[in-house]
Amino acid sequence: MLNIAVLVSGGGTNLQALIDAQNRGEIPNGHISLVIASKPDAYALKRAEKAGIPTAVLRRKQFSSQEAYDDALLQKLAENRTSLVILAGFLTIISNRVIHAYENQILNIHPSLIPSFCGEGYYGLRVHEEALRRGVKVTGATVHFVNEVCDGGPIILQKAVAVQSGDTPEVLQRRVMEQAEWKLLPKAAALFCAGRLVVKDGRVEIKEEAE
């Protein structure tokens, strides 16, 4: 059973999707054992507490340097014996030091079909605003491993979502969450915990399930 740490900044809807999937037995080889928030008023903390999951708050501005923040984050992850880190709407920068410490062990969910509408500055509603501005007919979500390039790590899973006439950024955001994000993230976590994700030449191969 692998320990999973989920890093959050806001409402925690993706965290809730992971908790619900775990409760349904859909992540049989993993267990959410820690939730770390970037601010003390993140509603995601209440979701974790309701589910009986230990929590911690690490505010970047409380640390004198990125190195000091990294030390605290890495210590929390080590104390938790973390095997998988999931970024579920985490808005604090993850440094290369942390990325290297957990190479191919950090998952992120992005609300578009990477490489569209991703990279620096593309998060939250802006992703959906840009999709609508460009007039795309299909958008979606992507789960990928985190590397040094923003939204540039190896892609694990993607799911397409139709853009509908009259969509607002908020309506589209909700549809992408419901139809893609909340399904992909638990599935990717389950695949990782089952040892079925292999990174080779910058790409992810999903191994067949053992008989």
Cis peptide before 111, with omega less than 30 degrees from 0? Answer: no
Identify which of 77, 151, 55, 148 has the alpha carbon closest to the alpha carbon of residue 109: 151
Task: Please tell me which residue in 100, 110, 128, 144 is annotated as part of the active site.
Answer: 110
Residue spans of beta strands (DSSP E) within the chain = 2-8, 30-37, 55-57, 82-88, 106-110, 138-145, 155-162, 197-200, 203-206
Residue 174's SS3 state is: helix
Instruction: Tell me the C-alpha distance between 144 and 150, whole Å.
Output: 11
Instruction: Tell me the C-alpha distance between 4 and 26, whole Å.
Output: 14
Asked if residues 119 and 38 have their Cβ atoms less than 8 Å apart, the reply is no
SS3 content of the chain, % helix, strand, coil (to 5): 35, 25, 40
110 assigned to active site: yes
Instruction: Give catalytic residues, as residue numbers.
Output: 110
